């Protein structure tokens, strides 16, 4: 297990370096940054000065190395737009997005896994059919529309939930529901298919032959094996939720990472874009490590030397 953990960490570090290069390249590839920063009215001298101040006249490798060096010291640069420290900007907004992501992920998993297990017990039964129908709806309805419907229902008609902002826990209910609605179909299908597959396997027959209770068979013997793909996908989905909740954040006016990235792109605020890409990517990589470790804990075949 120890060696496995170390190996996964080294792999993750290598991926992070690669990601940082790509994040750096992405911004470089958008054109001459000095011209973009200076704007339309900038004179040639202004542009040259900008180039010098921001080190844009150096070689590409030098630029990358000095940028990477600053990043390692926690200096992600300053926003071109507000001149604020980028790291502070991100850290201010990260909790909002993280709360939203965790809440919606947990909500999605808590509903979809038991539902998937129950579907798998009686495939093609009325419950299974209804869940599959719901999951088609979940995939077909865009999240901004679901969000608006929720606002109409709970915010406008019943007036029981706040429709925007982050003042209280209640503010997170509707955004989380919207995102959970979005991840529900994937988890439902995975856990349902996994359970159907595992329930027909030989070792489940063995467990039944031992006369164990149906609950033990389902939750001790079947679920542990069936849940493996759900774990892998859930961590990746979590990454998506962190970076991709832009739509939901704007519908509910949540001041999160998604909204920050969106406005930074619109304003060509490259340090912010670069930092968001880098941080979300690193979180993504770390989540994958977590997913590998969770899988290893669930499935002993992954780590043991044979």
User: Where does this chain bind other proteins (CB under 8 A)?
Assistant: 3, 7, 10-11, 201-203, 205-213, 216, 220-221, 224-225, 298-301, 304-306
C-beta of 66 vs 213, nearer to other proteins: 213
The C-alpha atoms of residue 296 and residue 278 are separated, in whole angstroms, by 27
CB of 11 to other proteins, least distance (A): 8
Taking CA atoms, 246 is separated from 98, 149, 170, 209, 285, in Å, by 13, 18, 20, 51, 20
First-to-last CA distance in the chain? 13
C-beta of 70 vs 210, nearer to other proteins: 210
DSSP state of 269: -
Nearest Cα to Cα of residue 95 among 214, 294, 256, 275: 256
CB of 228 to other proteins, least distance (A): 9
The C-alpha atoms of residue 263 and residue 276 are separated, in whole angstroms, by 12
Contact call for residues 108 and 180 (beta carbons, < 8 A): yes
C-beta of 62 vs 304, nearer to other proteins: 304
CB of 19 to other proteins, least distance (A): 20
CB of 212 to other proteins, least distance (A): 6
C-beta of 88 vs 304, nearer to other proteins: 304
C-beta of 206 vs 253, nearer to other proteins: 206
Q: What is the dihedral of CA 18, 20, 21, 27, to 10 degrees?
A: 140
Contact call for residues 180 and 107 (beta carbons, < 8 A): yes
C-beta of 70 vs 224, nearer to other proteins: 224
Kindly write down the DSSP assignment for every residue of 96-131, as one continuous string: HHHHHHHHHHHHHHHHHHHHHHHHHHSTTSHHHHHH
CB of 197 to other proteins, least distance (A): 12
Contact call for residues 243 and 98 (beta carbons, < 8 A): no
CB of 203 to other proteins, least distance (A): 4
CB of 115 to other proteins, least distance (A): 20
C-beta of 63 vs 201, nearer to other proteins: 201
């Amino acid at each position: 297990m120890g060696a496995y953990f170390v190996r996964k960490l080294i792999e993750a570090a290598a991926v992070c370096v690669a990601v940082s290069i790509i994040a750096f390249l992405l911004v470089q590839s958008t054109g001459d940054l000095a011209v973009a920063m200076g704007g339309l009215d900038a004179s040639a001298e202004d542009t040259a000065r900008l180039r010098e101040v921001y080190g844009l006249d150096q070689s590409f490798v030098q630029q990358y190395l000095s940028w990477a060096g600053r990043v390692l010291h926690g200096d992600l640069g300053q926003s071109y737009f507000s001149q604020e420290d980028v790291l502070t900007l991100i850290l201010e907004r990260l909790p909002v997005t993280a709360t939203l992501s965790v809440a919606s992920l947990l909500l999605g998993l808590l509903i979809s896994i038991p539902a998937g297990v129950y579907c798998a017990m009686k495939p093609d039964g009325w419950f299974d059919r209804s869940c599959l129908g719901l999951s088609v709806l979940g995939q077909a309805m865009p999240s901004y529309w679901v969000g608006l419907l929720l606002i109409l229902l709970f915010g406008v008609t019943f007036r029981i939930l706040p429709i925007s902002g982050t003042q209280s826990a209640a503010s997170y209910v509707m955004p989380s529901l919207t995102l959970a609605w979005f991840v529900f179909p994937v988890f439902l299908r995975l856990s349902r298919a996994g359970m159907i597959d595992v329930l027909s396997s030989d070792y489940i027959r063995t467990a039944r032959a031992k006369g164990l209770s149906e609950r033990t068979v389902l939750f001790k013997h079947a679920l542990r094996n069936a849940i493996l793909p759900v774990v892998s996908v859930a961590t990746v989905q979590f990454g998506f939720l962190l970076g991709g909740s832009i739509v939901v954040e704007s519908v509910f006016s949540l001041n999160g990472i998604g909204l920050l990235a969106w406005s930074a792109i619109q304003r060509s605020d490259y340090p912010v874009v670069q930092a968001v890409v880098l941080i979300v990517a690193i979180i993504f990589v770390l989540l994958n490590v977590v997913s590998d470790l969770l899988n290893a804990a669930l499935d002993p075949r992954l780590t043991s030397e044979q």
